[in-house]
Amino acid sequence: MNTEGAAMQIAVLGTGAMGFPMARRLCEAGHAVHAWNRTRAKVEPLAAFGARVHGDAASALREAEAVVCMLESGPVIEDVLFRQRAAEALRPGALFLSMASIQPREARDHAARLAERGVAQLDAPVSGGTGGAENGSLVIMVGGKPADFGRAQPLFRVFGRATHVGPHGSGQLAKLANQMIVGITIGAVAEALLLCAKGGADMAKVREAITGGFADSRILQVHGGRMVERDFAPRAKVAIQLKDMRNALATAEEVGFEAPVTALFERLYAQAAEHGLDDLDHSGLFVELASRNGLT
């Protein structure tokens, strides 16, 4: 990889709600971006920012010094890189940044298989939503070798703030912790506000009253605000939160850890999805809990 500040050849795989603004920021930072997405219509607008749009993943990877992967799941990454053999296009010495949320064991497996080709990998999932991707304020949790983390810092700084948390798979563990806390706290805020509404209090005023106390949090402020306003336009969907809770439970089972609180909330998000709420913002768990209590 080039020295900090120098333009680089960067492939971006996956240009959805998060990947698109991240790729745009790389273009605006002066890098040569090679972009690919399984649905071509989602990648073509990047050409207006100077990106080169590719028709297949291998073509996008061929010149890359570094790769930003935002494909939606571990199985999709597995399919694109190894079943479709796109990884064979990667040059030895390239750095692969796996920035989507996948299971830790998948991250470790991908790292080992890429290492066989002389490609370094970091699992570097992000938190901060589409707003963070747009304005470069993402929180990035990174697993892998410290030297590779150092090499990736110029790119991470385009996206936000990165912290190295341990060996391969550790970044994904940190992201699971993040999503467990987010998903569980959304449920706590929703249930508490709905109890107040059921009892006759003004939810908006209750939220205002407890702001600044021990119960205050970013979830209360952001997601609680959405609940008060009944604004469940998707930023991160119920379906994605459910995927994260299931990944957390699968990882807990692998390491022999009991996670009863996460298991309870996995069931609640699953029931919300079953009731047609899967495309709502994850704060839309409020709708599921409201329905159970006769509150509309």
Residues known to be catalytic: 175
> Is the separation of the CB atoms in 158 and 140 below 8 Å?
no
CA distance 290 to 296: 6
Rounded to whole angstroms, the Cα distance separating 24 from 72 reads 18
Alpha-carbon 4 to chain mean position: 25
Q: What is the DSSP letter of 274?
A: I
Query: CB neighbours (10 Å) of residue 64?
Result: 24
SS3 294: coil
Cβ atoms of residues 7 and 31 within 8 Å: yes
- Kindly give the pairing relationship between strand 52-53 and strand 66-69: unpaired
Helix (H, G, I), strand (E, B) or coil at 74: helix
Distance CA(59)–CA(187), nearest Å, equals 44
Query: What are the CA-CA distances from residue 278 to residues 130, 181, 281, 288 (Å)?
Result: 18, 19, 8, 11
Contacts of 199 (CB under 8 A, 6+ apart): none
Cα separation, 287 vs 296, whole angstroms: 8
Q: Match 């709600």 to its residue by tokens.
A: 17
